[in-house]
A and B are shown apart, each in its own frame.
Chain A
Amino acid sequence: MAKDEFNTEFKLVGTRPNRPDGLDKVTGRARYGADMTMPGMLWGAVVRSPHAHARIKKIDASKALALEGVKAVVTRADFPTGLTGEDWNLQENSMAGDVALYDGHAVAAVAATSALLAQDAAALIEVEYELLPHVIDVDDAIKPDAPAIRPGSADHSVPEGFPPNVVRYIDYGHGDLDAGFAAADLVMEKTYLTEATHQGYIEPQACVGQLGADGKGEMWVCTQGHWFIRQMCSAVLGLEVAQLRVTASEIGGGFGGKTMVFMEPLSLALSKKAGGRPVKLVMNRAEVLRATGPTASASMDVKIGMTKDGKMTAGKAVFRMQGGAFPGAPVDSALDCAFANYDMPAVYHEGFDVLANRPKAAAYRAPGSPMAAFAVESLVDEMCRELGLDPVEVRLKNAAREGTKASYGPTYNKIGLVETLEAVKAHPNYAVPLGPNQGRGVASGFWFNYNGDTAVSMAIAEDGTAQVSVGTPDIGGSRASLAMMVGETLGVPYEHVRVNVVETGALGINEPTHGSRATFATGKAAVIATEQAIAEMCRRAAVEWDIDPDAVEWIDGAAQPAGPNAGKFPPMKIGEIAGKMSTTGGPIAGHYEGFPDGVGVSFGTHVVDVEVDPETGHTKILRYLVAQDAGRAIHPAYVEGQFQGGAVQGIGWALNEEYVYGEDGRLQNATFLDYRVPVASDLPKIDTVIVEVPNPGHPYGVRGVGETGIAPPLPAIANAVAAATGQRLRHLPMTPVKVLAAIQAGQDG
């Protein structure tokens, strides 16, 4: 497969054509989740708990049902019982049972003939609550006397006698930790805190669901993965999976947050109760922030040993994370990422997944990695300053390379961390002189990348153009990169390949566009499928030429005899073969079903310059550089876009984004006014360097690129703020309030 070993001359790979979905998107023709309407459609609205933790004593919907035009009300009583494990979690999160577990938890839903009427009806549904003690902060939630949120929900990993909200416990490592710390000249141990942040996608969750009494249903939904939606809705509602057909709309961002169900099962439950009429549900921004997956908040202790010349001798990470009122904080992947950048003789990891009265966490771009990077890369920087060492040189000295045993177990294949460090050293940004109140920060980051269940079908049309049917919704330009890889393989122009994201009825199961897998896994699958079609076209030419199929090769979009011994025939172009396929054996197609192996991990290194206003604590990003290993950039513009997008989300996480709860456990900033993602004027142009250390496991050398970029910004900015102010901020976000307080106190914050 490793085409790279012998070919780096490409016609399409590495070019920057317009995206195939671009015209529809800039003209407003693209159909997003909320754009679908159907004949006879009803509108839904959801009643949500205003309390962080409360027993539901009574739900009275009689006034709502008395309104003309109200067609159905559902509560948990309308859902099947007896679910277990994650199926139960998803059902419980979709609709509260006996107890509302967080501010925003759904307790009832209504369908009516208009959106306004549905909202009016929702306001008339009376819910009687009995307030229960709540806990929000992870360090409070892990205390032995914290309010027990779901007794009995701990899994087998949790030893007897642990605090009641610890539901998963992890500990592992390798090497002699004590010997490692003993060999160090400097051992430092610090605690770092990060707050929960939301994926902040532009498009709120939206769907239209239809479910008949016969158990057959359909859904149109904004999602990263419609097979996941199908499976999860079926589990929550007790349906036969194949009876539900799910179509993914265009998607206005997901970042991991649209890989599971939130209100989607409610539209189906309402539809069934309303006699099978389709029901549309569209969240508003407050619902998105209160009730869809943010990421976890984290409290992390890190200890590292370093010799005075910068060799890292041992590392220990103890992470506590809350992922809401359900198990699933990404403490495992956070620990795996913690020391992944480094070749260290001894590492130890310990993790606690803790329940709190907050919404169920969902994946968010490299789940766990940004928190881990903040803790470890901040501490590495603190130690470099203490020892007077250059932060890039220390990272180079300890960098993981091909053959290094990773901190989380496996041995690295070809990787590009060193190349990203060399790239930032050589970049002009790294040499810009800094002025007063300015500081420079460096940090590296890591993400595993992923393969996952993948099914792809491709077919040749009568005129020699090609269609590719995939199951991974196009979030970051994957239709373009897939068309480029298929076009390259097939030897046809980019414009001759149409990539369709098809509904669940059209392919075997596909995992979502998550784990930075679309260009890697769907791309590899599409290339394999294309090679099948090519083999068939070669066979048809061979039949016509009456030579052995092995004596035919595919060059530049045509079947050709492989050398003079094979015979002397003019190339048979794809259009010619396609035009007569009905008489030469019927359709020409290829397909792939499997779990593509050969995933390549991706490292990145960021350099940021900041200026901190010493009178207000305001941090301005002056310049920002991302260098990341893409393996090979199929479409460099979209790779750069991923790098820049990750950096921007990381900047928001570092400086201003956080969930603010009141004493009552209610979320106080469920709007984009007070949940502060960066605005365009906050940002400089994000400079990028695409490092290409091809992944031998992919036909074009692709590594996933979407996720790594969000990890380094958190520590890089903290390191820059420390350089600018002399104060170390160990609690994100570094708001002006916190930075000013640290400056005024003359001590770390």
Chain B
Amino acid sequence: MHYHTPATFEDAVKIAAACGGVTRFLAGGTDVLVQMRAGAVIPDDLIDLKHIPGVRDITRTPEGGWRIGIAVAGAELGAHDALCRDWPGVVEGMELVGSTQVQGRATLVGNLCNGSPAADSVPGLVAAGATVTVTGVNGSREVPVAEIPAGPGRTVLQPGEVISAISLPPRGENGGDAYLRFIPRTEMDIAVVGCAVNLRLDGDTISEARVALGAVAPTVITVQAAADAIIGTTLDDAALEALADAARAAATPISDKRGTAEFRTHVSGVMAQRVARLAYTRAKGAGK
């Protein structure tokens, strides 16, 4: 196994492009190292991105959004007051990943690139409209987070491509987001269903909304019909009912050791309602 410590993303992708065998990028390592220990993935080349300047930084963009380095750990997100004020749903999704110890290492980009449909941080990013910067040998491009996952354990990234940053849009006025998941226990578990809602209010009425569901399809999905069900409403009972129906209709889960398809479908609606209420409350609070 070869271990590389490039100083720039350009160097990182050059190294990756030249590697012929199994290649893994290393940031927090909370998936890569576990897979190595378990013997599931033994990389020929391990490219450690933590030595690239700026990868641990959280910076406000000129437009008022956020640019988050690829090695920023979950615990660092949680300790960043301004980011938590803007995007509490994004941060709470990330903070549900693993234990306190794992939170000291695990990263948003790692959670995204691991490709799990149940990744806790991804629905919040999708609902927020987050983008990532994908860097390859031919330069960089911005890609919505929603387009990165390709299926369980897979992403659309090509060999020689790496995510070099993650960006959140400006929060704007009267907005709120939230993420909740269902697990059989209270922590240290994998989402059986995850749901994020990001919305904006005009007075008491929802003017914009995005709803994302996790663990009920091969990738995290954006449910436009669920958003439509609550846009233009004050999240009254009828809207909540329509929201749950839309979420359930969009869910195409499998039955496995963590839950049956019937259970996941039903709970998709329950989670969507609970998360929407939370996001709505936050948006109301943000307006005060």
Contact residues of A: prevailing secondary structure: loop
Q: How far is the CA of A744 from the CA of B262 in the complex (A)?
A: 11
Please indicate the chain A residues that have their CB under 8 angstroms from the CB of B188 in the complex: 673, 679
- A676 and B184 contacting across the interface, CB-CB below 8 Å: yes
> Which residues of chain B are near A656, meaning CB under 8 Å?
184-185
Query: When the two chains form their complex, are residues A668 and B257 in contact, meaning their CB atoms are under 8 A apart?
Result: yes
Q: Return chain A residues, CB-CB under 8 Å to B14.
A: none
A740 contacts across to B, CB distance below 8 A: 263, 266-267
- Taking the closest CB of chain A, its distance from the CB of B268, in whole angstroms, is 11
Q: How large is the interface on A (under 10, 10 to 19, 20 to 34, 35 or more residues)?
A: 20 to 34
Q: Which residues of A contact B185 (CB under 8 A)?
A: 656, 676, 678-679, 681-682
Bound-state Cα–Cα, A681 to B182, Å? 15
Indicate which residue in B182, B189, B259, B262 contacts A673 across the interface (CB closer than 8 Å): B189
B150 to chain A, nearest CB (A): 24
A286 to B39, alpha carbons, bound, how many Å? 12
| Mask of A732-749 contacts with B, CB within 8 angstroms, 1/0 | 000111001100100000
Q: Check B186–A681 contact: CB distance below 8 A.
A: yes
Cβ-defined contact, B186 with A737, below 8 A: no
CB distance from A28 to the nearest CB of B (A): 16
Residue B187 at the chain A interface, CB threshold 8 Å: yes
A333 in the interface (beta carbon within 8 A): no
Interface centre among A660, A681, A736 (most CB of B within 10 A): A736
Check: A119 CB closer than 8 A to any chain B CB: yes
- B:208-222 near A, CB below 8 Å: none
Name the residue in B39, B189, B190, B258 with the highest tally of chain A Cβ atoms < 10 Å from its Cβ.
B258
Chain B 234-288 residues near chain A, CB threshold 8 A: 257-260, 262-263, 266-267, 270
User: Which residues B83-113 have CB closer than 8 A to chain A?
Assistant: none
CB neighbours (8 Å) of B257 from chain A are: 660, 668-669, 674
Residue on A with the closest CB to B244? A615
Question: For residue A81, which residues in chain B have a CB less than 8 angstroms away from its CB?
Answer: none
Q: Within 8 Å CB of A678, what residues of B?
A: 185
User: Would B260 and A681 count as touching, CB distance under 8 A?
Assistant: no
Question: B184: which of A119, A660, A735 is its contact (CB, 8 Å)?
Answer: A735
* A 664-692 binary contact with B (CB < 8 Å = 1; else 0): 00001100011010110110000000000
Contacts of B38 in A (CB 8 A): 286
A740 to B186, CA, bound (A): 17
Tally of B interface residues using CB under 8 Å = 20
Q: Which residues of B contact A123 (CB under 8 A)?
A: 39
A618-B184, A656-B185, A676-B184 are contacts. A737–B39 as well, Cβ < 8 Å? no
**Which A residues, 635 to 671, have Cβ-Cβ distances below 8 Å to chain B?**
655-656, 660, 668-669
A616 at the interface (CB under 8 A from B): yes
User: Whole-angstrom distance between the alpha carbons of A119 and B263 in the complex?
Assistant: 40
A616, A617, A740, most chain B CB atoms within 10 A: A616
Q: Is the CB of A615 within 8 A of B190?
A: no
Q: Tell me which residues from 714 to 745 in chain A have a Cβ below 8 Å from any Cβ of chain B.
A: 735-737, 740-741, 744
Interface centre among B39, B188, B259 (most CB of A within 10 A): B188
Mask: chain B, 159-195; 1 = CB below 8 Å from A; 0 = not:
0000000000000000000000010111111101000
B263's partner among A668, A682, A737 (CB-CB below 8 A) is A737
Q: Which residues of B contact A119 (CB under 8 A)?
A: 39
Partner of A736, one of B39, B184, B186: B184
B39 to chain A, nearest CB (A): 7
* Nearest CB of A to B11, in Å: 29
CB within 8 Å of A: which of B68-95? none
Residues in chain B near residue A668, CB distance under 8 A: 257
CA distance A676 to B270 in the complex (A): 23
Q: Are A615 and B270 in contact (CB under 8 A)?
A: yes
Q: Would A681 and B187 be within 8 Å (CB), given that A616-B267, A669-B257 are in contact?
A: yes
Mask for A611-622, Cβ within 8 A of B = 1, else 0?
A: 000011110000
Q: How far is the CA of A558 from the CA of B39 in the complex (A)?
A: 63
Q: A656-B184, A679-B185 are in contact. Are A737 and B190 (CB under 8 A)?
A: no
Shortest Cβ gap from B22 to chain A (Å):
16
Q: In the complex, what distance in Å separates the CA atom of A676 from the CA atom of B192? A: 13
How many Å lie between the Cα of A19 and that of B190 in the bound state? 37
A617 CA / B186 CA spacing, docked (Å): 14
Tell whether, in the assembled complex, residue B260 and residue A737 are in contact, meaning their CB atoms are under 8 Å apart: yes
Q: Determine the chain B residues whose CB is within 8 A of the CB of A682 once the complex forms.
A: 185-186
Q: Write the chain A residue with the least CB distance to B266.
A: A740
What does the 1/0 interface line of A270-295 toward B look like (CB < 8 Å)?
Answer: 00000000000000001000000000
| In contact, A616 and B270 (Cβ under 8 angstroms) | yes
Per-residue B-contact encoding for A487-498, CB less than 8 Å = 1, 0 else: 000000000000
Give min CB distance, B16 to chain A, whole Å.
25
The reply to whether B189 and A616 form a contact with Cβ atoms under 8 Å apart is no
Q: From B39, which residue of chain A is reached at the shortest CB distance?
A: A119
Asked if B263 contacts A676 (CB within 8 A), the reply is: no
- When distances are taken between beta carbons in the complex, the residues of chain A under 8 Å from B270 are 615-616
Query: Which of B184, B266, B270 has the largest number of chain A CB atoms within 10 A?
Result: B184
B77 CB to closest chain A CB, in angstroms? 21
B189 touches A736 (CB 8 A): no
Among B182, B187, B259, the residue within 8 A (CB) of A679 is B187
Q: Identify the interface centre among A668, A681, A737: most chain B CB within 10 Å of its CB.
A: A737
B155 to chain A, nearest CB (A): 22
Chain A residues in 8 Å Cβ range of B190: 673-674
1/0 contact trace for A504-530 toward B, CB 8 Å?
000000000000000000000000000
What is the CB-to-nearest-CB distance from A747 to chain B, in angstroms, rounded to a whole number?
A: 16
Give the distance in Å from the alpha carbon of A736 to the alpha carbon of B258 in the complex.
10
| Nearest CB in chain A to that of B256: its residue | A668
Known A119-B39, A615-B270, A616-B270: A736·B263 in contact at CB below 8 Å = yes
A674 and B266: CB pair below 8 A? no
Instruction: Looking at the assembled complex, report how far the CB atom of B45 sits from the nearest CB atom of chain A, in whole angstroms.
Output: 18
**Can you name the residue of chain A whose Cβ is closest to the Cβ of B258?**
A674
Chain B nearest CB: distance from A680 CB in Å?
9
Q: B192 → chain A, closest Cβ, in Å?
A: 8
Q: A618 to B180, alpha carbons, bound, how many Å?
A: 15
Q: How far is the CA of A616 from the CA of B268 in the complex (A)?
A: 10
**Which residues of B sit under 8 angstroms from A681, Cβ to Cβ?**
185-187
Chain A residue numbers with a CB within 8 Å of B267 are: 615-616, 740
B217 → chain A closest CB, angstroms? 19
B262 proximity list for chain A (CB < 8 A)? 741
Q: Write the chain A residue with the least CB distance to B269.
A: A615
| CB-nearest residue of chain B to A119 | B39
Count chain B CB atoms within 10 A of each CB in A668, A669, A681, A740 and give the residue with the most: A740
Q: Give the CA-CA distance A669 to B258 in the complex, in Å.
A: 10
Q: What residues on B are CB-neighbors of A673 within 8 Å? A: 188-190
Q: Return A93 CB to nearest CB of chain B, in Å.
A: 24
Contact with B along A596-628 (1 / 0, CB 8 A): 000000000000000000011110000000000
CB distance from A197 to the nearest CB of B (A): 15
Q: Are B259's CB and A737's CB within 8 A?
A: yes
Q: How far is the CA of A333 from the CA of B266 in the complex (A)?
A: 42
Q: Which residue of B lies closest to A683 (CB)?
A: B186
Enumerate chain B residues within 8 angstroms of A615, measured Cβ to Cβ.
Answer: 267, 270
Closest to B264 in A: A737
Q: Is the CB of A616 within 8 A of B259?
A: no
The smallest C-beta distance from A204 to any residue of chain B, in angstroms, reads 14
Contact B259 A676 (CB under 8 A): no
Set of chain A residues within 8 Å of B182, measured between Cβ atoms: 616, 618, 736
Q: How would residues 187 to 209 of chain B score, 1 for a CB under 8 Å from any chain A CB and 0 otherwise? A: 11110100000000000000000
26 A–B contacts, CB within 8 A, in A order: A119-B39, A286-B38, A615-B267, A616-B182, A617-B263, A656-B184, A656-B185, A660-B257, A669-B257, A673-B189, A674-B190, A676-B185, A676-B189, A679-B185, A681-B185, A681-B186, A681-B187, A682-B186, A735-B184, A736-B182, A736-B192, A736-B259, A737-B260, A740-B266, A741-B263, A744-B266
Q: Which 8 A-B pairs have the closest CB atoms?
A: A681-B186, A615-B270, A660-B257, A737-B263, A668-B257, A682-B186, A679-B188, A656-B184
9 more A-B residue pairs beyond the given contacts A616-B267, A660-B257, A741-B262, with a C-beta to C-beta distance below 8 A: A615-B270, A617-B263, A673-B190, A674-B257, A676-B189, A681-B185, A682-B185, A735-B184, A736-B263
